[in-house]
Structure formats: C-alpha cells, structure tokens
Amino acid sequence: MNAAIDHVMQRQDTWLGRASRAARQGMPTGYHKLDSELHGNGWPLGNTIELLSDGNGLGAMGLFLPAMEQLSQQGRWQVFIAPPYIPYAPLLEARGIDSQQVLLVHPQNRQDLLWSIEQALRSSTCSAVFAWLGNTTFSYSELRKLQLAAAGTDVLSVLFRPRQAGHNHAPAPLRLEMKEYRRLNILKQRGGNQYVDVNLGTEDDIPGQPQLWELPAYAPVQHAQTPAFSA
C-alpha cells in the first residue's frame, strides 16, 4: 500500500470503519471491569486520556498504579507535570514502581506547562506522562496539540482536569470522570461505549500488597484509644 496512506492508517485518531478495529490493543488497566468496558481492553497508549476529577483522594491515581507498575519495567521516565503533592516514594517502591523513574516537573506558567507536556510526550524517554492542567481553561487547539504529540507514541498520557471541563469538547479519545470514590463514568470513548458507569470492586486488589483503594470494611471506630475531639 501507499506509504502515506499506511501512515494515516497507523494513526490512532483515524476512523477505520468497523472491520479493523479489534486490532488495536490497549494496555491492561489492572481492573477487569474497566478493561471490559474499554475499547481495546485497556488504556489506549499513544492517546491522551482525560480524567476529570474534583479534588484528590477519590482514587484517580490509584486507577493508574497497576499501569505504572507494568510500565516501570521499561526503565523510562514516568513524568508528573504540575502534580498537586509529592508522590510518596516508599509506597511506590512497595508497589514495585522504581521511584528513580519518577520525575516531578513544576512549570511556572501556563505556557511552560504546555511546553513541558509536549516535550515529555514527544520524547521517546517517557513511559507515562501525568499532567495536572488545573483550573485554567485550555482551548481545543491547545489540547489537540497535546493529542497530536501523543499520537504515534507508546506513552500512557493522562491529563487531569476539573469536572467542569467535561462540559466542553476535548480532542482526547478517552474521557473519564471520577464521580465518587472508586466510581468512574466513561464520558467519551472513541469506538467504544459511552456514558457507562464503572464500579471498581476490590476483587482486583492484589493480596499482601499495600492497598490504596479499599481499606478494611468500614466499621465506625469507637475504640477506647480514639481520642476525644475536645478543643
């Protein structure tokens, strides 16, 4: 076939009709329920994934820990751009993620933020790029530039954005919304189901490993040692 056409066909954002869809395999997320809902049965590498979430602590990062664990074997950088806090190295080590691969980037302004994301995506030295875009609004073309930078690579690229960004269009082929703790809603998925709620159960948690997700069944602790909240 013509090389130019081949090139276009290779791109993740080219619509191919129904026939050749199954060919694209995603990277297993580590959660069976989510895998079964995702087109390609896993994270679409070489695409931007938007994760819409308000506030930390709903488990947005936990979603990617199994992936980080797998990618850690590649020995490339896992870049955190404008992260809200510091990833806790002992936890990463306990999960089998090499904390030496984690790079924290703190750009000073919006322009540098976009530049750093693009650089990280375009360079072949990263296996994962997590970027926190914050509350600023980004135009479609700016996000499209990131999507183009990710296209054709094998990088797991995740953009964390606030939930209100879900009202606007975005070029990312996969957009997920973190509704509640451990409950995802697939807002948009190219070639797959949309508006599906996914409840991530505990059955995929690895026994014996430090769990982030689910703490033991919640029983309101009323131990003797619980201190009184006296001022």
Partner 1 sequence: MSLWLCLRFEKLPLQALTRRDKGLITATAILQQQRVLQACDTAASLGIKPGMRVATVRALDESMRLLERDPSLEQQCLKQLCCWAYSISPSLHIYRDNCLLLEIGGCLTLFKGLESLLIQVHSDLSSRGYSYLTGLAETPKAAWLLSHTTDDHQRPLNERLQPLPLRLLDMFPRQLDSLARAGLWQFSDILNLSTQALGRRCGKDMIHFIQQALGTAHDPQPDYSPPPQFRDDYWFGYEVKANQELLPAIQRLLQALCQFLRNTQLQCQQIQWQLYGIQSNLHSLTVASSLAHSNWRQWYQLSQLHIEQLTLDMGVEGISLQCLNLSAGNNHTGDLFNAAEQSEPLHSLLDRLQNRLGLQSVKKIAGRNEHLPEFAGYSSCDNDGNNTVDNNIDKHDDSHAQPSISGAYRPFWLMPEPQQVNQSARGLYWGGGLNIMEGPERIEDNWWLEPVSRDYYVALGQRGQKYWVYRDRLQNRWFIQGIFA
Phi, psi of 60 (to 5 degrees): -65, -40
Alpha carbon distance 143, 133 (integer Å): 10
Q: Which of 20, 124, 139, 141 binds partner 1 (CB under 8 A)?
A: 124
Determine, following the binding rule CB under 8 A, whether residue 110 of this chain makes contact with partner 1: no
Is 196 among the residues that bind partner 1 (CB under 8 A)?
A: no
Q: State the Cα–Cα distance between residues 83 and 106, nearest whole angstrom.
A: 8
185: contact with partner 1 by CB under 8 A = no
DSSP state string for 120-145 = HHHSTTEEEEEEE-TTS---HHHHHH
- For 172-220, strand residue ranges (E) read 174-180, 183-189, 196-199
Q: Does residue 160 bind partner 1 (CB under 8 A)?
A: no
* 179 C-beta neighbours (distance < 10 Å), count: 17
Pick one of 85, 135, 141, 207: the residue that binds partner 1 (CB under 8 A). 85
Question: For residues 44-83, which are near partner 1 according to CB under 8 A?
Answer: 55-62, 65, 74, 76-77, 79, 83
DSSP 85: S
> C-beta of 104: minimal distance to partner 1 in Å?
4
Backbone angles phi, psi at 123, to 5 degrees: -75, 150
Between 16 and 94, CB nearer to partner 1:
94
Tell me the number of residues near partner 1 by CB under 8 A.
Answer: 63
* 231 touches partner 1 (CB under 8 A): yes
Degrees to nearest 5, angle at CA 139 with 133 and 145? 80
Q: Which residue lies nearer to partner 1 by CB, 38 or 92?
A: 92
Q: Applying CB under 8 A, which residues contact partner 1?
A: 55-62, 65, 74, 76-77, 79, 83-94, 99-100, 102-108, 112, 115-116, 119-120, 123-126, 180-182, 208-212, 215-216, 218-221, 225-227, 229-231
